[in-house]
């Protein structure tokens, strides 16, 4: 009788531990999905910023700060692959990287 109770207790403890790890894994995945979405939207904003800079080279580009802590960086290249200013008429590629936490997402736009 004692062995049966100990065995059932051990099985229940093991099942509970496995269920706890699975729930923790699911919570972590949902947090990463949220962070990934923020990084994607930051990269999209970077592309928009690059397009604005390219189409309006004489105006001041909008601010690049976000209230949620995300950020982006933009690199513009010409047809030869050389890095140029986004206001340069020879720009043929805009690459924007969006960052949030440890997540990075990158969009590219060929002009």
Residue-level pLDDT, tens digit, the chain, 111 residues: 888 889 999 999 999 999 988 988 888 777 788 899 999 999 999 999 999 999 998 888 777 788 999 999 999 999 999 999 988 889 999 999 999 999 999 999 998
User: What is the rounded CA–CA span in Å between residue 100 and residue 97?
Assistant: 10
> Quick check: 99 and 42 in contact, CB under 8 A?
yes
Q: What is the pLDDT of residues 73-99, one digit of tens each?
A: 999 999 999 999 988 889 999 999 999
Continuous H helices in 1-111: 2-55
Q: Which of 103, 84, 92 is nearest to 43 (CA)?
A: 103
Range of the domain at 99: 2-110
How many structural domains compose the chain? 1
């Amino acid at each position: 009788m004692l062995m049966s109770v100990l065995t059932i207790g051990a099985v229940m403890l093991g099942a509970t531990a496995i269920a706890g790890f699975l729930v923790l894994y699911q919570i972590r995945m949902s947090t990463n999905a949220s962070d990934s979405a923020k990084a994607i939207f930051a990269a999209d904003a970077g592309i928009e910023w690059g397009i604005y800079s390219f189409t309006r080279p004489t105006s001041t580009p909008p601010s690049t700060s976000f209230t949620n802590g995300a950020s982006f960086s933009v690199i513009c290249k010409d047809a030869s692959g050389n890095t140029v200013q986004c206001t340069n008429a020879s720009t043929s590629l805009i690459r924007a990287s969006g960052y949030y936490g440890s997540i990075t997402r990158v969009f590219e736009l060929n002009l």
